[in-house]
Chain A
Amino acid sequence: MTTDLVIGMAGSGGDGIVSAGESLIAAVATEGYHAMMTKSFGSQIRGGESSCRVRLSTEPVLNPGGTLDVAIALNWEDFLKFGGELPVGGNTIVIYESKTGVAPDKLPLPGVTPAEVFPVPIADMAKESAKTDKAKNTVILGLIAGWFGIGGDGVMKGLRKKLAKKGPELLEANERALAAGRKYAQDHPLKTPRVMERPKTVSPKLLTDGNDMCGAAAIFSGCQFFGGYPITPSTEIMQFLSREIWKYGGSVLQAEDEIAGIGAAVGASFAGKKAMTATSGPGMSLKTEMLGLATIAELPLVLVNVQRGGPSTGLPTKTEQADLYQAAFSAHGDVLRPVLAPTCVADTFEITVEAFNMAEMYQTPVVILSDQEISQRKETCDPIDTSKFRLVDRLRPANSELGTHYARYRFTESGISPISEPGMPGGNYLAAGIEHNEKGAPISGGIMHAKMNEKRFRKLNPIRTRRDLFQTYGDPNAPLALIAWGSVAGVAREALRVAERKGVKVKLLVPRLLYPIAEEFFNDFLSGVQAGLVVEQSHQGQLYHIMKMVLDLPKGLKSYARSGANPFQPAEIVRRLREQAQAMHQSGDSMPQEE
């Protein structure tokens, strides 16, 4: 019996690999498992290679997992294109299409001897049972059900819903394909059975991906306008909202370009509505000027950047964390712009609500820095109690403040000035990208400019005191530290578990507010730290360098960074951390205790 299983499959575009993954994760969710599914494609529009990974566990799943427990290849050429995304090891069970003609002892996996290897006539079984090789993916689901005890009936239940309108024949064909797979597995038992343990409790679960979660959170937050332009991997946010937002009196504008998308959102915010745009790196570059406008005009706005590999077109379908500098610093002039990063699908809800609240509270653009992995992976999550969230609306002027004396940019103690909107009698003002005085009238003098800059920075000060935007794990007195953000946080949390099992004392900081740097919390966390790693999926290690710019870091805290599309594994993080501690020791500094 096993409690955690990572299944990876790959095939050609038409093989239905991803839809098999979708069926499987939906089925195991109803069986009470925690699960996560990531998809990966080549950049072809149709056809080409596609793959997915499904990890399921009786415990909450923190990341897509490392080396596969089960590898399924419909053909080797496509499987191998995913390299490090579908790693096979000595503990992996390899299942592949026997038609590929590859001998079980001649797998194209140099240096790897998998635990067990099964060439299976998947296509023939599909044709025989369902009369079409389109049922290959259902055969695979049958094999999984047979060997690992998961999915089977849940898959059929899902198919019954999905194929309800397509008539009984198709459903029966799928039923036969599933049974064929199951029977094959029963006739060819594993040497070491790996049937999944049943979850102790079965409770209802949400199942969705980060982009849909972001869209749902926007609606919950009261977002009434979305302006955007399609761009991988953020487009699903616009797709979700274009289906749902009208029901709540809002609208989606698919604009002619990225600039118009954010421009319309700025306009909607000026008109008094909560507004949002979403994009990825290249689009973020185009939106930069408009973000500066929202900063100086002091208009609330939420911008989601779902990071992909860059620069330029880069790796459009792969995850990376290399847009942090851009999120924090892409501006001319003195600009302070909050940057928030969700760590998983469920967290995307909280972070999105937070972004709307922050934007409204401080009359500022706020960037949500998600990444391709979180945005497009599916996760089971426990139902979220939405009643615990307080929603913030911008501070509007009281009646007594309106009239000819109304000053839109009035200097206040907090730096936040009550904001009117068109339609409000006596609130008339000029919003402008040009520097202005308290009444909004354009000015060109240095004294007022300095005062306005000071006001725009001062109003954001309270953000740095938001301890709830930082998560810490592990022993608070540990001399070894990990810092990770975004999707890498889930890998780091598992690395912490691995380290703890080995008796290594480590603590982990997961900042969800990436900018401005909350100096106090970082310093608190880092006090007593002798060695540590800031783990990031980028070539430069951008958070590490921003921290270095603002904080006095312990000498032993280093960057552990590598480019996108090369996922980190928990074990390697622990190994690297111990090497880091060792190096500190050898260089004469005190050695952190371990084991």
Chain B
Amino acid sequence: MTLAMPAPVPTLQAKDFRSDLKPIWCPGCGDFGVVQAVYRALAAVGRPPHEIAFISGIGCSSRIPGYTTAYGFNSVHGRALPIAQGIKIAHPELLVLVAGGDGDGFSIGGGHVAHAVRRNIDLTYIVMDNQIYGLTKGQLSPTSPRGLKTVTSMYGSLEEPLNPLMYVLSYGAPFVAQGTPADLPGLTAMLEEAIRYPGFSFVNIQSPCVTYGEESGQIKAQKEKMKALADMKHDPTDRIKALSLAQDYGRELYTGVFFRDPNPPPTYDALVKARQAELSANALPRQNILDLFLQK
């Protein structure tokens, strides 16, 4: 089906994207703020819910598609990105959102992130990074700080945390940002910009786990330490500077756009369409495809 191109529908409001499913999240979970920001960002972008495919893996945060009115796919652990890419390639007119936690994206599904980045498929990947496994009740995650004591690390974690920001920046992601529900307007604006960006966009959201998370990661603590990159006069067209700032992940809480490629590279889905258009002129009729094998 060919869809009408994104004709902004100004009448859409945040509530039009909220489904009637009640979230399973704990009271005070950062993900409540994230889903609010998603509703608002989608309303601002203006694509109707049926033109949106929202894909996730498994985890607390991966429940998010069901809380929207978009077409959702709550798939299997770590595999949201491959599924989302198949959707976007098969149906490029859709607005494709992908969401999940730090474990889903950078542990079990970590192998897929680099490839989604290098393909530059036009989708937005939202990671709700809480440095813990919440759904399974409080184990180490790939972004847990060294030394963290959890039920699977009684004597403290022996590993350095993975740095999601440097990870995607190093593979060449054209849009990389970090936000927090502690700054809801900022997060909303960032998500809207990421969705509108023509290419792979990544938003790391410091979304605290109220039940198993550290005190230092909760909303209150975040409000005290967060620093807006815009206030720091960071130039988001400078990838090297962005990488340099990203090194502070885990120590500092920078919010805003780390990097935005001012010259968006061609997207995979656009290249696919161009190739199809170029080659379709040479097609045998489908029903005659076996003529390829005819011996003359």
Contacts and interface: CB of A to CB of B under 8 A. Distances in A.
Interface of A: 26, 29-30, 204-208, 212-213, 216, 219-220, 222, 224-225, 227, 244, 246-251, 253, 255-257, 259-261, 263-273, 275, 289-290, 292-293, 297, 349, 380, 383-384, 386-387, 420-434, 441-442
Contact of A246 (B3, B21, B81, B275): B275
B89 to A, nearest CB: 6
Interface stretch (B62-70, B136-144, B149-157, B172-180): B62-70
A386 B290 contact: yes
Nearest to A205: B295
B86 interface: yes
Interface of B: 1, 3, 21, 48-53, 55, 58, 63, 65-66, 69-76, 79, 81-91, 93-94, 111-112, 114-115, 272, 275-276, 278-280, 282-283, 286-290, 292-296
A271 B94 contact: yes
Given A212-B293, A246-B279, A423-B1, 8 more contacts: A30-B295, A206-B294, A267-B73, A267-B90, A271-B94, A289-B76, A387-B287, A433-B58
24 contacts: A204-B294, A207-B293, A216-B289, A219-B286, A220-B290, A222-B286, A244-B289, A248-B286, A256-B115, A260-B79, A260-B82, A266-B75, A267-B73, A270-B53, A275-B90, A383-B290, A383-B294, A386-B288, A420-B71, A425-B48, A430-B71, A431-B71, A432-B73, A442-B74
A219 B290 CA distance: 10
B39 to A, nearest CB: 15
Contact of B86 (A219, A246, A265): A265
Main secondary structure on A side of the interface with B: mixed
Contact of A260 (B73, B115, B290): B115
Contacts of B287: 220, 386-387
Given A247-B279, A433-B76, A423 B85 contact: no
B82 A259 contact: yes
A290 B79 contact: yes
Main secondary structure on B side of the interface with A: helix
Nearest to B80: A263
B83 A428 contact: no
Nearest to B282: A247
A140 B145 CA distance: 69
Contacts of B81: 260
Interface centre among B63, B91, B286, B295 (most CB of A within 10 A): B295
Contacts of B115: 255-256, 260
A433 B86 CA distance: 17
Contacts of B111: 256-257, 260
A251 B119 CA distance: 14
A219 B90 contact: no
A249 B280 contact: yes
B50 A426 contact: yes
